[in-house]
Amino acid sequence: MNSSTPQTDDFVVRRSVFLGLSILLTVIGVVLMLNCYAGQALFWEDYVSISVFPLLFSQIAVGFVLALFGLFDKLRGGDPHHLMRGSWREKEDSIPLAATAIVVPVYNEDVARVSKGIANMWRSLEKTGQIEHFDFYICSDSTDADHWVEEECAWLSLCQKLNAFGKIFYRKRRHRINGKSGNVADFCRRWGKRYRYMIVLDADSIMIGSTLVRLVRAMEANPTAGIIQTQPYMVLGTSLFRRVLQFSSQIYGGLFSQGCSMAQMSSGSYWGHNAIIRVAPFMEYCGLPHLPVPDPNRRHVLSHDTVESALMRRAGYGVWIAYDEPGSYEEGPPNLSDMLTRDRRWCAGNLQHFWFLFARGIEMGSRLQIWIGLMGYLCSPLWLIFLIAGSFGAYFRARFLMLSADPEDLGAATSSHAMPLLVLTLTLLFLPRLLGILTSLPRARQFGGTFQLLFSALLENLLSFFLAPVLMMFHTFFVLLTISGWQIKWTTQNRADLGLTFTHCLRLYGWLSGLALIICPIAYAYLGGVSYWLLPILAGWFLAPFLAWLTSGRRLGMFFKSCRLFVTPEETQPPPELQGLDGDDAEELSAPPALWVQALLSPYVQAVHLSMVRQGSTGGQPVRSLIDLRERLIREGPHAINAKEKLRLLWDGETVFWLHQELWSRPGAQLHSSWISLQAECAKSRLLSDYLTAK
């Protein structure tokens, strides 16, 4: 297999310009930093600050250079060497499609939302006339019995409504090994050979049919492409927090990913979803290696996507970012707390990538991706160390100068080099944002108008400004937890904009407010005027509970929407693929409580469930413990057994059938009283028939 890296002068020039500019800017920053200390007494705290500074500044420089690359690429109308702009586009429609699986891993997700998303994608694909080349796989890892049963009902309903029997499949894993990557690998092992490509989605992902078709054609036309990652834009936000995130992803995200694509070309990123993958090399080369750690429980790679793209590159296949393909969407976290929950997982995953940084055979571009991802979280503790060391350094220097008799020394403390460094830092931090806003101005109408776009961007920057110190503290905490070996569980991402209570926010972020109130007078007493530099940090900490609470609710989010602030193009011109997915429009089916009980009582739900689990059922006599469990369920009611026991019962087809018979046949005296009322509820709920008749 030949490497797909375009070994052209152009590629070498790009990478050398990217690295050269990043290093040059870092060196300039470091020189300005060192000049700030020129002619002054140095304390050990200063040495700490000076050591940490290049790492911190290099990250700002890399971000800035990526944005510059993005701007350059945008101004010239796109990268002519990009895979999605190849000559194949001229005869695109004549390229035949290959069998493609659309894999939707789910894990205790909102079932109605997931199935509506699949239905919309199906209909969108139908419009392209190429539906026969695509199969959908709902690969469930749900650990909640209610979710499991609801998924089965929703799957049947989807197949019925879309006439998609034999095209939309459902698979429930019994053992949730290796999380999402294990789920995808399980699909590959079972059915991977049937397909040339798979499009991996998240449960909340939506992609339009024409983009799905184009991705397959792009792969067909470029046999050395291993992965093509689209740029998913956040949509459907109603809470202010989510709306701000989706607005900023629209304004700045495209610029950075375009820059990243230009710098990396075929060594691009894979973000784990909304991407097409060539199945055969993925199965052959991208089986995740075990991490070389002594504890066998910690050998699984948590954040699989970066490693898979590195392995794909290592095998000689290209990983491309299709940054300007339209119609690729996802949903973001609805509030700060949910974003932090997600960040904690990502932090643990990204820190694990440290092992791959020095692994043999990993390509330079992949190492860069790993380094940038790693520093994304390591920067937080470094920033905190820098702040603490800088503050102590300033204190000792002020004390030293006060004690020295020579008043000229005081003048040296206000170094003339501090201002250029500050200006440079602010430029590198905010110019990419300004560029993002400027490049969005021609599309201002899609963002609600020019004034609305500018005002939204101003508010977004303010919010980011205050949230950055909060994220720094939490990310530092996450890094320390990860390094100390605290286990991270992969949890379901919350996508409901339900809002946080102020008590929750006070409990989670109140300590930051307290810290700000304690540090503020101490810093002023010891540092004097220098303490003003800490004000933005302290203000962010102080406001953290209020900001988390204010931004979490729908009401404020919808108020801003009514003012046409934080509006995105998907809201001004909603694509049909997103219709009906909004909580406001969604038809809510009244699912009865204790849904899993329906698999025991409802004849239809039971039958569907049996058809799913019978394949793996032994059909032999149940073991004693299972017999006891059945009897306990009958006599003590459904609340008497725990989540694991529910799953155990549901996995055994013979038990499900036996319980169905017994729960309907036994006289009331031999049943727990709740079963009688559940029978009556089952008669009224008609869960599956309602699902099937809902449009």
Partner 1 sequence: MESVKPPANGNNPEAWNEAYDRLENFLQALALGDHAHVSQMALELFRRAREEYLKNPSREPATLAMEQAQKQLADWLAVNLGEEDRTPSHILATGYIALLLSQVYRTAPASFLASPLPEELRQALRETLLVAGPDLNVSSMTPRHLDYGPMLQLARQTWHRWDAKELIIAIFFWAGVYTVFYWWLSQLL
Residues that bind partner 1 (CB under 8 A): 44, 135, 137, 155-156, 160, 165-166, 169-171, 185, 188-194, 283, 285-290, 292-294, 311, 354-361, 484-485, 601-604, 606-608, 610-612, 614, 654, 657, 661, 664-668, 679-680, 682-684, 686, 688-689, 692-693
Give 14 or 397: the residue with its C-beta nearer to partner 1: 397
Q: Which residue has the tokens 């400027």?
A: 438
List Cα–Cα distances, 638 to 146, 598, 670, in angstroms.
12, 11, 14
Least Å from the CB of residue 169 to partner 1: 4
The answer to whether residues 663 and 602 touch, using CB atoms and an 8 Å cutoff, is: no
Give 462 or 694: the residue with its C-beta nearer to partner 1: 694
Least Å from the CB of residue 664 to partner 1: 5
Give 285 or 533: the residue with its C-beta nearer to partner 1: 285
The pairing of strands 206-207 and 100-106 is: unpaired
Half-sphere exposure of 157 (CA within 13 A, CB side): 24
User: What strand order describes the sheet that includes 328-330?
Assistant: 206-207, 328-330, 233-234
DSSP codes joined into one string, 307-351: HHHHHHHHTT-EEEEETT-S-EEE---SSHHHHHHHHHHHHHHHH
Least Å from the CB of residue 218 to partner 1: 24
Give 7 or 677: the residue with its C-beta nearer to partner 1: 677
Give 26 or 352: the residue with its C-beta nearer to partner 1: 352
Give 546 or 604: the residue with its C-beta nearer to partner 1: 604
Give 359 or 508: the residue with its C-beta nearer to partner 1: 359
Q: Which residue has the tokens 């009902």?
A: 153
Give 184 or 578: the residue with its C-beta nearer to partner 1: 184
Least Å from the CB of residue 266 to partner 1: 20
Q: Quick one: which of 426, 424, 431 has its CA closest to 29? A: 424
Q: Which residues contact 626 (CB under 8 A, 6 or more apart)?
A: 648, 649, 652, 655
Least Å from the CB of residue 189 to partner 1: 5
Per DSSP, 267 falls in state B
Least Å from the CB of residue 122 to partner 1: 17
List Cα–Cα distances, 592 to 495, 589, 641, 668, 681, in angstroms.
21, 9, 19, 22, 8
Look up residue 61 and give its two tokens. 């420089």
Helix/strand/coil (H, E, C) string of 31-48? Answer: HHHHHHCCCCCCCHHHHH
Q: Quick check: helix, strand or coil at residue 493?
A: coil
Least Å from the CB of residue 482 to partner 1: 13
Q: Quick one: which of 540, 389, 382, 381 has its CA closest to 475? A: 381
Give 60 or 605: the residue with its C-beta nearer to partner 1: 605
Give 524 or 604: the residue with its C-beta nearer to partner 1: 604
Give 536 or 668: the residue with its C-beta nearer to partner 1: 668
Least Å from the CB of residue 199 to partner 1: 17
Least Å from the CB of residue 118 to partner 1: 15
Give 484 or 642: the residue with its C-beta nearer to partner 1: 484
The answer to whether residues 324 and 231 touch, using CB atoms and an 8 Å cutoff, is: yes
Least Å from the CB of residue 657 to partner 1: 5
Half-sphere exposure of 684 (CA within 13 A, CB side): 9
Q: Quick check: helix, strand or coil at residue 529?
A: helix
Alpha carbon 6 to chain centroid, angstroms:
30
Q: Which amino acid is at 606?
A: Q
Give 76 or 190: the residue with its C-beta nearer to partner 1: 190
Least Å from the CB of residue 314 to partner 1: 9
Euclidean distance between the first and the last CA atom of the chain, given in angstroms as a whole number: 49
Phi, psi of 101 (to 5 degrees): -105, 135
Least Å from the CB of residue 687 to partner 1: 9
Contacts of residues 508-512 at CB distance under 8 Å and 24 or more positions apart, as own/partner, are 508/337, 508/545, 508/548, 509/336, 509/470, 509/544, 509/545, 509/548, 510/545, 512/470, 512/473, 512/541, 512/542, 512/544, 512/545
Least Å from the CB of residue 176 to partner 1: 17
